[in-house]
Amino acid sequence: MGHRDITDLQEGHRLVREEKTIKDAVRQINTEGAAVTIREIAECRQDESVPQKSEERLRLALEVTNAGIFDWLIPEDEIFISPALKESWGLNDDIGGQASIDYWKSRIHSDHRERVINQLQKHLEGNEPFNEDYLFLSKPGAYRWFNSRSIVIFNEIKNPLRMVCSVRDIDNHKKAEELIRNLTRQLIKSQEIERRLISCELYDRVSQDLSAATIECEILMKNKLLQPEIRQHISSISDMLLTVLMVVRNLSYELRPPELERLELMRMLHEYCKQFSEKHGINVTFRFGEINELNVSFDMKINLYRLVQEGLNNIKKHANASHATIKLIPSSRTIILLIKDNGIGFNLKKQQARSSNGTHMGLRNMADRVKLLQGKMDIQSASGKGTKIFIEIPYCEG
């Protein structure tokens, strides 16, 4: 089709929009030599119904979806609220379909309001996405969990004009997560109790029996009536008993450091890193901030201790590293733990697949413990470039 034909086709569309009859439009265009058919012009008229159909589809979608939608006209500070969201938020009919953004902000729980509003401001500046969970006052005295995700439309000078946001009621999901956390917390507490009992049994009975057997061997070795070969054999048995005794005592210590309940966490971790270095030939640097000044609960202490313990054991087993660094520092309302090594590294996706299959569970155990503490764990690793584990845990005073 040539330039003339395209121009004539556009002219035909214009005539149709001006409500001329198809017959008149075709007659006028054909006199100028345009190859426009009645069918093409009729399709143009049919296209005029597309916006109406789209609006109808949108209306039906808003009525049947479980997710609520609000459409914030930012310069006017008005929000259009879908029926589903209006019901979830417990809005009265006299509010109609609109409310101000301040109304939404005012009903966010005070513990979450600052975080959500700060993230919203960054979102409106075009810097970060908006995907937040928060408690919202849906009924007098009754808060429920909601999740909001949105997109922003900007004008040509990057000022926000409109924000369209989906809102989902995730209260049941959050309650289920909290139930799982509580059950997991109880499970870990039970594990710690079992570890303490096993540790006591190993230290108080097994190690004592091994010590007694070692003493008996020493007494036998002093018996001059025994032949030298027999005394040498008893000496070998005594050496083996001493080795087993050291293993049992180390295992007892790792299961439950007896000093942890009454001594400072930093002192315990410093001592553990020192012993780990001496035992396994991996140089461990331990650095920490002023955590001892915080009133950290015993549960937090034991979990931080276990995370460091698990991290170093993973390095010993898999990293083939000569050096590791442990950093534990307080930040604003959080405690940050960094574990890194100069080992061989690994492919993170493959490692996650192995963990899901029940093998190489070290990192998975760490992730579960961090999740229990409602923290975040980020792993960075590549072949030949070592591994870095960054853990951030919300701080609560004990």
Is residue 337 scored above 70 in pLDDT? Answer: yes
Q: Are 267 and 395 within one domain?
A: yes
Q: Are 271 and 247 within one domain?
A: no
Query: In this predicted model, what pLDDT tens digit does every residue of 292-303 receive, in sequence order?
Result: 656 777 778 888
Q: Are 179 and 203 within one domain?
A: yes
Q: pTM score, two decimals?
A: 0.55
Q: Which of 25-29, 131-135, 193-197 has the lowest mean pLDDT?
A: 25-29
Mean pLDDT computed over every residue of the chain: 78
Q: What region does 78 belong to: left with phi over 0, alpha with psi -120 to 50, or beta?
A: beta
Average pLDDT score over residue span 223-238: 86
Q: Which pLDDT band holds residue 98 (cuts at 50, 70, 90)?
A: low
Q: Are 156 and 191 within one domain?
A: no
The pLDDT of residue 96: 47
For residue 145, the domain's CATH number is 3.30.450.20
Q: Are 251 and 270 within one domain?
A: no
The pLDDT of residue 34: 41
Of the three residues 142, 169, 196, the one that is the final residue of a domain is 169
Q: Are 165 and 177 within one domain?
A: no
Cα 113 to Cα 103: distance, rounded to the nearest angstrom: 12
Query: In this predicted model, what pLDDT tens digit does every residue of 55-87 receive, in sequence order?
Result: 566 566 656 566 788 888 888 888 888 888 888
Of the three residues 199, 221, 256, the one that is the final residue of a domain is 256
The pLDDT of residue 7: 43
Q: Which pLDDT band holds residue 18 (cuts at 50, 70, 90)?
A: very low
Q: Are 219 and 345 within one domain?
A: no
Residue with tokens 């409106």, as numbered in its chain:
124
Q: Are 264 and 398 within one domain?
A: yes
Give the tokens for residue 99: 């409310």
Query: In this predicted model, what pLDDT tens digit does every residue of 142-171 receive, in sequence order?
Result: 899 999 999 999 999 889 999 999 999 999
Q: Are 288 and 396 within one domain?
A: yes
DSSP letter, residue 344: -
Phi, psi of 99 (to 5 degrees): -155, 160
The pLDDT of residue 39: 46
Give the tokens for residue 263: 């001594």
The pLDDT of residue 6: 38
More confident residue, 197 or 124: 124
For residue 300, the domain's CATH number is 3.30.565.10
CA 305 from centre of chain: 21
Average pLDDT score over residue span 13-35: 43
Average pLDDT score over residue span 328-357: 82
Q: What region does 95 belong to: left with phi over 0, alpha with psi -120 to 50, or beta?
A: alpha
The pLDDT of residue 397: 58
Q: Which of 85-89, 129-133, 155-159, 175-179 has the lowest mean pLDDT?
A: 85-89
Q: Assess contact for 339 and 394: CB atoms under 8 A.
A: no
Domain around 148: 54-169
Q: Which of 94-108, 177-191, 228-242, 284-298 has the lowest mean pLDDT?
A: 94-108
Of the three residues 214, 229, 256, the one that is the final residue of a domain is 256
Q: Are 372 and 271 within one domain?
A: yes
Average pLDDT score over residue span 4-25: 43
- What's the domain count of the chain? 4
The pLDDT of residue 16: 40
Pairing of strands 283-288, 376-381: unpaired
Q: Are 229 and 363 within one domain?
A: no
Q: Are 181 and 132 within one domain?
A: no
